[in-house]
Amino acid sequence: MTERFRAAVRPVAVIAATAAWVIGAFLNQLSGWSLTLTVAAGAALTALAVGLPLRAEHNARARAGTAEQIAEDAGARIQLVLNDAMEPLTYLIGRIVDMRGWSRSRELGDLQGQAKAVVLSAAAEVLGADRLRSCFFARVEDRLVPSGFHGRAEAPRSTFEAGTPLGDFALDMLARREDLFCADTHAASPPGWAPGGHAYRTFVAVPVATESREFGILTVDGLQVGDLTEADVAAVRVLARLLAVALGA
């Protein structure tokens, strides 16, 4: 049944059902206020009987349309992240790989620093909502220490150390090459998390590593629940892997 046909049938159904109430009232020899109230009640109940399902159908279509739009927006956002970051990153990685031995020691650090800046900028400025912050925590022996950030003017203060619940969790996540998405730090947070110690409410954390080397963790955090979603993890993961290639070249 097409939408146009359903739209045409609905008012006919209301009129027919109301007419049935009127005919019933006459057959029962109602008159005056009794007839008026019976007809009015019949029309109202019929409208509700038809209108409520129509309203539910409309709401269902609206929810489906909203979900589809959210998915499309998320996909477009990820594509934008990759488009903005891919070209400069691949250029920098190409330069790193093509460098000859005699010049690597002089320029390698600068090029890798530029690659890190591109990744942090892309993650903070293009991904998700406003006022996001991206951070890179570099692995230094048995610690993960802040090594650059971009976005919201709030420098990262955390250092993840082995032997602490949160540090062990972060280092184990890096060792297992696992991603982490925390939708709401107040509702579910990693082991050892200090409640109230952070301004942000949601974050993504992704390892920056190759098969054989661990460089650190890339994070993106937002001030409000909903600033980041599961769909953002894929984009952060791609950026983290490209950064790992640049740092490991």
Chain mean pLDDT for the chain = 78
122/230 Cα distance (integer angstroms):
17
Domains along the sequence of the chain with CATH? 3-65 (no CATH), 71-248 (3.30.450.40)
178 CB-near residues (< 8 Å, 6+ apart): 207
The pLDDT of residue 60 is: 61
26-76: pLDDT as tens digits: 545 545 555 455 555 555 555 545 554 555 566 666 655 666 666 566 666
Banded pLDDT at 88 (limits 50, 70, 90) = confident
**pTM over cut 0.85:** no
149/121 Cα distance (integer angstroms):
8
Q: Is residue 200's pLDDT more than 80?
A: yes
Alpha carbon separation from 163 to 49, 95, 120, 192, 229 (Å, rounded):
65, 39, 28, 11, 31
118/136 Cα distance (integer angstroms):
12
Backbone angles phi, psi at 187, to 5 degrees: -95, -40
The pLDDT of residue 27 is: 47
92-145: pLDDT as tens digits: 888 887 775 655 566 888 889 999 999 999 888 877 678 999 999 999 999 999
Banded pLDDT at 13 (limits 50, 70, 90) = low
Banded pLDDT at 198 (limits 50, 70, 90) = confident
The pLDDT of residue 62 is: 60
